[in-house]
Amino acid sequence: MVAAMLPEAKPGHRAPKSFLIDPVALEKAYYENKPDLSKPTQLVSFGTSGHRGTATDGTFTEQHILATTQAICEYRTLAKTTGPLFMGKDTHALSAPAQRTALEVLAANGVETVIQSNDGFAPTPAISHAILGWNRDHTAFADGIVITPSHNPPQDGGFKYNPTNGGPADTDVTGWIQRRANGLLRDGLKDVKRLSHAKALAAPTTRTRDYTRAYVEDLANIIDMKAIRSSGVRIGVDPLGGASVGYWEPIADQYGLNLTVVNKAVDPTFSFMTLDHDLKIRMDCSSPYAMASLVGLKDDYDIAFGSDPDADRHGIVTPSEGLLNPNHYLAVAIEYLLGHRQGWPTSAVVGKTLVSSRLIDKVVASLGRTLWEVPVGFKWFVERLFDGTCVFGGEESAGASFLRRDGRVWSTDKDGLILGLLAAEITAVTGKDPGLHYRSLTQRFGTPYYKRVDTPTTPEEKAAFSKLTPESVTDEFLAGDKITERLVRAPGNNALIGGLKVETAAGWFAARPSGTENIYKLYAESLTSAAHLEQILAEAGSLVSRALAA
């Protein structure tokens, strides 16, 4: 569907009824469609955050979940993981049937499985919190599954595995699970163990719990809830119809906050959403188009924020700036936390992905702390958040987590709830919203101009990204400035970035291929001007083409 066909469809406006999915038909397709195993796109494929797809095109079906869950059961045996598996789902239409399928396999394999009581929802950070909480007190370690495609459109489904460290599984784990799952698919699923859903629910290994209570009661150990309460700061929250919808009122009640949930709707069509920049329904809390409803209420609250359907991302709305760019808020959050968390070890690093703003580098350097720059993907932060040697890990796509106030681990997955509550704490403690803090940073360090562009490419060119070396870049200058760095590995951990980053004193760009589409993502930033940013982007495209052809 395009705007020419439906002129009433506009970014930032409610979706026409013709854009909405049919959840019944989608669930029917989940059970009836079978993947075409001759097509690589229809195999199980773990990207940066699990397997994603949709039932109507054969990329997310019951067969995928049967195979992947059986593979996870076998991986648990290999890894000697004998504790419970904590499983949660978000509000996407395919999440409930996928949880039913997964439970049938887990129960048949004798895996002790814990699901949200009353067939409810559980955000990603609550599952990470539950895994870590169990593993602090037991020697039979727990792990987890979160069923979510994150902020993806309503027709999508997603399935991700978190091992005993509580965070997104690393590539060695997901690679093993992916290979085994695809082997099971090719073998007709004959080695998949399964019970009926009724028997799985009644199995002695299946338990329910309310993930909400333990998570909410622990928040005072990571956020200064007393300061928020005593200030009376007016807070508006939009869960965007996601799994955090049942968390905010218990949080407000527990801590006496002046908090309003501006949208309590849960609807698998997400009919209340405003269209994103490309006229898709996408629950992206970092997009001004998807967040248009909350942005429109910005003057009604001292601080407002939203989260995506599994609540691992944050979107911060301030009276001063509207929706903050995720990079800008990360810089503000880091500066505030390093000045207000006296229990944090000063030797620990501050983590960021290498496509995040250089403004973060300047903030960290100004405070005499060590920056740790890693490839794209939150998995890179997991181990060091877990052992407390990284106090904060953040990525450009509005995902972050940080340590408890005493310096111990809180979660090893992204947590959109605590980043929203941190914005309220900043406003309460300093008397200024995060947008005003961002303005102060630009007065000290200059204004960064940042943009990401998706560029069409071929499968052959995508494959060529993995062969790039620093020597692939023969240019000496970028947008009038001498090139100072040509990177194919991240400075922080020397891990391959899956692409290329080129830096000058006045800006940089990075290019890396998409794992699911025939595009590459081009990130760029100028520390000079918007016009300079456009010059970087224009020259970067040509430079990348030459490097790939070399």
Strand 143-147 versus strand 399-402 pairing type: unpaired
d(Cα 25, Cα 317) in Å, to the nearest integer? Answer: 36
Q: What tokens does 391 get? A: 């106090």
Average pLDDT score over residue span 145-158: 96
pLDDT of residue 550: 78
pLDDT of residue 457: 85
Give the whole-number percent of the chain exceeding pLDDT 90.
Answer: 93
d(Cα 239, Cα 233) in Å, to the nearest integer? Answer: 19
Closest CA to 418 of 538, 266, 316: 316
pLDDT of residue 353: 97
Give the model confidence (pLDDT) of 403-448 as tens digits. 999 999 999 999 999 999 999 999 999 999 999 999 999 999 999 9
Strand 235-238 versus strand 303-307 pairing type: parallel
Q: Supply the residues annotated as catalytic.
A: 150
* pLDDT classification of 549: cutoffs 50, 70, 90: confident
pLDDT of residue 322: 97
- pTM listed for this prediction: 0.96
- Minimum mean pLDDT range among 96-105, 289-298, 391-400, 517-526: 517-526
Give Dmax (Cα) for the chain: 68
pLDDT of residue 514: 80
CATH of domain 449-549: 3.30.310.50
pLDDT of residue 2: 44
d(Cα 95, Cα 51) in Å, to the nearest integer? Answer: 12
* pLDDT classification of 4: cutoffs 50, 70, 90: very low
pLDDT of residue 396 exceeding 90: yes
pLDDT of residue 7 exceeding 60: no
**pLDDT, averaged across the chain:** 95
pLDDT of residue 409: 98
d(Cα 546, Cα 550) in Å, to the nearest integer? Answer: 6
What residue spans in the chain does CATH classification 3.30.310.50 cover?
A: 449-549
Residue 330 DSSP label: H
d(Cα 377, Cα 397) in Å, to the nearest integer? Answer: 10
CB crowding 149-186: b at 16 or more within 10 Å, else e: bbbbbbbbbbbbbbbbbbbbbeeebbebbbebbbebbe
pLDDT of residue 395 exceeding 50: yes
Average pLDDT score over residue span 188-208: 98
Give the model confidence (pLDDT) of 294-351 as tens digits. 999 999 999 999 999 999 999 999 999 999 999 999 999 999 999 999 999 999 999 9
CATH topology classification for 17-209: Alpha-D-Glucose-1,6-Bisphosphate; Chain A, domain 3 (3.40.120)
266 neighbors 241 (Cβ within 8 angstroms): yes
pLDDT of residue 5 exceeding 50: no
What lies within 8 Å, CB to CB, of 154 at 6+ separation is: 20, 21, 92, 93, 268, 269, 270, 281
* pLDDT classification of 1: cutoffs 50, 70, 90: very low
Q: Which CATH superfamily is domain 215-222+229-445 in?
A: Alpha-D-Glucose-1,6-Bisphosphate, subunit A, domain 3 (3.40.120.10)
Give the model confidence (pLDDT) of 454-512 as tens digits. 888 888 888 899 899 999 999 999 999 999 999 999 999 999 999 999 999 999 999 99
Question: SS3 sequence, 500-535?
Answer: EEEEECCEEEEEEECCCCCEEEEEEEECCCHHHHHH
Give the model confidence (pLDDT) of 214-268 as tens digits. 999 999 999 999 999 999 999 999 999 999 999 999 999 999 999 999 999 999 9
pLDDT of residue 461: 86
Please provide residue 508's backbone torsions phi and psi, each rounded to the nearest 5 degrees.
-165, 165
> DSSP 3-state assignment of 363?
helix
Give the model confidence (pLDDT) of 48-94 as tens digits. 678 999 999 999 999 999 999 999 999 999 999 999 999 999 999 99
What residue spans in the chain does CATH classification 3.40.120.10 cover?
A: 17-209, 215-222+229-445
